[in-house]
Amino acid sequence: MTNPFRIAAGEFRRFRGPLPKLALVFVTIVPLLYGAIYLAANWDPYGRLSQLPVAIVNQDQPAEAQGRTITAGADFVTELKSEHTFDWHETDEATAQNGLRDGDYYLVVTVPQDFSADLVSGQTDHPERAGIEIRRNDANGFVIGTITSSAQTKIEQAVDQSAVKSYFDVVFENLSKIKTGLNDAADGAGQLDDGLTKAHTGSGKLAKGSSDLATGAQKLETGAATLSSGLDTASTGASELSDGLATMQDKSAKLADGADQVATGTQQLTDTVLPPLTQLQKSLPQLKKNAQSAGTALNDVADAAAGGTQSISDDLGQADTELARLETKYPELKNDPAFGRLSDRVGSASDRANKIAGAARQQADVVSGITDGVQNNITDLSGSITSAKKDLNQLNKGAHQVATGNHQLNTAIATAATGASSLSDGVDKASTGADKLHTGAKGLSDGADQLKTGSHDLDNALGQLSDGAGTLHDQLTTAAKKVPAVTGDQQDQAAQVLSSPAQVTMHVDNPATYYGRGLAPMFFSIALWVFGITAFLILRPFTGRTLLGRGSAFARQLGSWLPAGLLAVLGGLLTIGTIWLFLGLDPVRPMALIAITVLGAAAFSAVAQFLRMTLGTVGSAIMLVWLIVQLASTGGTYPAAVLPQFFARMNPYMPMTYLIDAFRVTISGGETAHLVRDVIVIGSSLVVALGLGTLTMIKKQRLAVGDLHPPLEPA
């Protein structure tokens, strides 16, 4: 049995009876069930968005603009309903939110109450961006967000166009006002030019005056510096004067006390000396007489003591002579102590009498001289006493005047000290003020310099402004002439164009057109792979007769694969035919689509047959895991560039990658080179799978004793 078709026919003959045949039919339509049912359900979901219930909540309040009532919210809702993009339901906020939560609505579009006011605010000095709130609930289906995301863009575009159109309506309505305003501005610019010319003349004078001011301010700064320095010196002198006067006040107080003491002393001197002087002056005549009497008496005493024969000295001389005669007469008296003492006493008395006499004469001479002097000067002494009394009275009076003057001096010095202290404080303040004056004068000088510079700059700038104002006048006049006078129809047309100045056109190469048509390549590929997993639930990857048969191993391998391959091709063609006929697949390369379907079905079924023949049930498990990996890495829904790095790297090594790409090229169009590459890779997969299956077939032909049933036992 080396004919592959006979091997395949033998496998099909196993299915006898209704149920086995029904199972065979079921395996054949697995690709149709998997691919067609899903694609039929999701072929064109965007084309049925008009059946999607969406709530509209209009809270907008009308606004006034340019004397018109703007109801942008109501107009917006009317416009949405007229487009029938969704199944619109206008309702209130509470009903809309409850419906979104319960799944009755898939979107809630809310127009806020300040929508109209914000739209027309573009015509004011404080424009505000109008807002529309769109809310969805992913608990009702996450994919609905992808489907409805375009609605947000369309709503934003509609709102922006409406706002811009309203703005340009106002702009064009005000063109005549703008033209009038430009003419008025041109006239104003002319007047400004005239005024600036005059201002330029005045600024020249200001520049000259500011130069003079700067010079004067410099002099003021110099004088203020000199004044500040002088007042600093004066402050030091005033402080020293104040200290000196304070010292003088203390000293003058002590001087006043001393003068008081002097006055008291002179008063006491006067009170003490004047009475004796007065008495002395009165006693001078009697003193003169007494002096004369004293002189006479002293002379008499001298004469009595040592004068002639009647004097004491003479008597004592005679007594001494008598004692000497007694001693001579009585020699024994010489040794008598009493006589000796008597003799000595008489001698001593004689000597003393002589001395007294001499002294009396001497004093008599003195008294005589005094008496003569008194007698000669008594008149002068009386005059001197009178003069001394007068001088003493004047001294006493002067001492009291000095005491009074010292008190007055002390009071005056105290007053002067207070004034000097005030002067010192005032000079200090004046010095501080002079410092501030100097600082201010310096600031004034700097400011005057800046004013000088600024005034010159102002003069230059005013000249430039005058030139600019003339140019502005000319340009505004020209601009006013260029402002067009448009009609109402022209305004409407221009506003519509400017509200949407650019039309963006999307050109799609090789368009898929429908959502399901774009997903068909991936689901066709998955369906053929799933067939390989399910087919060998009822088909055998090989039979025992195939192993025991003669002929080439490749022919036997081909015959073992052929039942699954034929059913896979039939199921694949049935799937694309059904989608083509009932959903409008409309491939751009019909024959290539059929060919790639046949090639893909053959390759995937060969891979499944090889794994099942080699590994048994484990091979089917590997097919399932491999399918899951390919779903994540082949780029059926998202391109490989956006996949995680692990799956992106696996993409080129997955056979489904090339079958999906081949289906895309044949259904929607694309590069022929890609299709050729895909055919080569898929065809190579078929050849490799059949080759590996042949090697497995050869290996399995080598039977071991354990492979025989019943096992052979030795005799």
Q: How far is CA 666 from each of CA 447, 511, 520, 551, 661, rounded to the nearest angstrom?
A: 87, 12, 11, 39, 9
- CB-based contacts of 70, cutoff 8 Å, min separation 6: 62, 63, 64, 116, 119, 120, 166
Q: What pLDDT score does 493 carry?
A: 66
Cα separation, 387 vs 277, in Å, equals 11
Residue 116 near residue 61 (C-beta atoms within 8 A): yes
Structure tokens at 114: 């300040």
Interhelix angle 175-306/337-482, rounded to 10 degrees, is: 170
- CB-based contacts of 99, cutoff 8 Å, min separation 6: 53, 55, 89, 91, 105, 108
- CB-based contacts of 182, cutoff 8 Å, min separation 6: 476, 479, 480, 483
| pLDDT tens, position by position, 418-446 | 877 787 787 678 778 777 877 877 777 78
Kindly calculate the radius of gyration of the chain based on its CA atoms and give it in whole angstroms. Answer: 76
Distance of CA 553 to the CA centre of its chain: 85
Dihedral sign (CA 567, 569, 570, 576): positive
Nearest to 535 by CA among 446, 476, 447, 611: 611
Q: What pLDDT score does 613 carry?
A: 92
DSSP annotation of 711 reads: P
- The 3-state DSSP class for residue 363 equals helix
Read off φ and ψ for residue 146, nearest 5 degrees. -70, -40
Cα separation, 498 vs 486, in Å, equals 15
Q: What pLDDT score does 65 carry?
A: 77
Structure tokens at 93: 């906020």
Cα separation, 106 vs 121, in Å, equals 32
The string of DSSP codes covering 59-107 is: ----EEETTEEE-HHHHHHHHHHHHTSSEEEE--HHHHHHHHHHTS-SE
Q: How far is CA 219 from each of CA 258, 421, 430, 447, 452, rounded to the nearest angstrom?
A: 56, 33, 20, 14, 16
Q: What pLDDT score does 668 carry?
A: 93
Q: How far is CA 678 from each of CA 14, 329, 672, 675, rounded to the nearest angstrom?
A: 36, 210, 10, 5
Nearest to 636 by CA among 520, 528, 533, 529: 520
Read off φ and ψ for residue 683, nearest 5 degrees. -60, -40
Cα separation, 360 vs 713, in Å, equals 207
The answer to whether the peptide bond before residue 45 is cis (omega within 30 degrees of 0) is: no
- The 3-state DSSP class for residue 537 equals coil
Q: Within the chain, which residues score under 70 in pLDDT? A: 1-2, 122-123, 143-179, 280-281, 284, 287-288, 291, 294-295, 298, 301-313, 316, 353, 357, 360, 364, 367, 370-379, 381-382, 427, 480, 482-503, 544-551, 703-715
* pTM, two decimal places: 0.54
Cα separation, 131 vs 673, in Å, equals 50
Nearest to 634 by CA among 664, 592, 611: 664
Structure tokens at 217: 């301010």
Q: Give the bridge partners for 653, in sequence order.
A: none
| pLDDT tens, position by position, 50-92 | 888 999 999 999 988 777 788 888 888 888 888 788 899 999 9
Q: What pLDDT score does 712 carry?
A: 47
The string of DSSP codes covering 28-60 is: HHHHIIIIIHHHHHTS-GGGGGGGSEEEEEE--
| Burial state string for 318-350 with b = 16 or more CB within 10 A and e = fewer than 16 | ebeeebeeebeeeeebeeeeebeeebeebeebb
- The 3-state DSSP class for residue 508 equals coil
Q: Give the bridge partners for 607, in sequence order.
A: none
- The 3-state DSSP class for residue 624 equals helix
Structure tokens at 268: 């006491």
Structure tokens at 658: 């090339």
Residue 529 near residue 627 (C-beta atoms within 8 A): yes
Interhelix angle 672-701/655-667, rounded to 10 degrees, is: 140
Other CB atoms closer than 10 Å to residue 670's CB: what's the count? 18
Work out whether strand 107-111 and strand 133-136 pair parallel, antiparallel, or are unpaired: antiparallel
Structural domains in the chain plus CATH codes: 4-43+514-702 (no CATH), 50-166 (3.40.1710), 183-481 (no CATH)
Q: Give the bridge partners for 133, in sequence order.
A: 110
Q: What pLDDT score does 97 carry?
A: 94
